[in-house]
Structure 1
């Protein structure tokens, strides 16, 4: 393509477009597409919500050190702290 279209920084060529068209015309395996999982894995059967939390630089340092020593993520340490 001469208008500079890119995907992940790589130019999209006419050959690539032709290959995508051929793939689409051949059809897709719907079950295989449904099995693709994107994003973070769920934590349960219910959808979870993102909650913003404001911490000072010192609080974050303490949290990160605790997480490092426990070999856990920040989120895991925060969730454990909430389960009192």
Structure 2
């Protein structure tokens, strides 16, 4: 192991590496890994499409301030605005 290796700022020890190797040699429970729910939760039956949006620093600051006041994320606020506009 090279000196100073870390994961999330925590030093990786030879003992930890050996424990990981032992776990891998014992076999990985694939069903357990699938149940962990990696990634963001879905918003429906179909995968959501990511859309890039360019905002000026001032627009972004205004969006963040409005989102904070509404106790919403940027994405939630943008989706709500689009839904209101579409109706």
- TM-score, normalising length from structure 1? 0.75
Give how far 1:71 is off.
1.0
Give how far 1:48 is off.
1.4
Task: Give unmatched runs, 5+ long, in structure 1.
Answer: none
Could you say which residue in structure 1 is the equivalent of 2:55?
A: 55
- In 2, Cα distance between equivalents of 1:40 and 1:12: 31
Q: RMSD over aligned Cα, in angstroms?
A: 2.0
- TM-score, normalising length from structure 2? 0.73
Could you say which residue in structure 1 is the equivalent of 2:5?
A: 6
Could you say which residue in structure 1 is the equivalent of 2:23?
A: 23
Which portions of structure 1, spanning 4 or more consecutive aligned residues, are displaced by more than 6 angstroms?
none
Match of 1:54, SS? Answer: coil
Task: Give unmatched runs, 5+ long, in structure 2.
Answer: none
State the aligned residue count: 82
Give how far 1:31 is off.
1.6
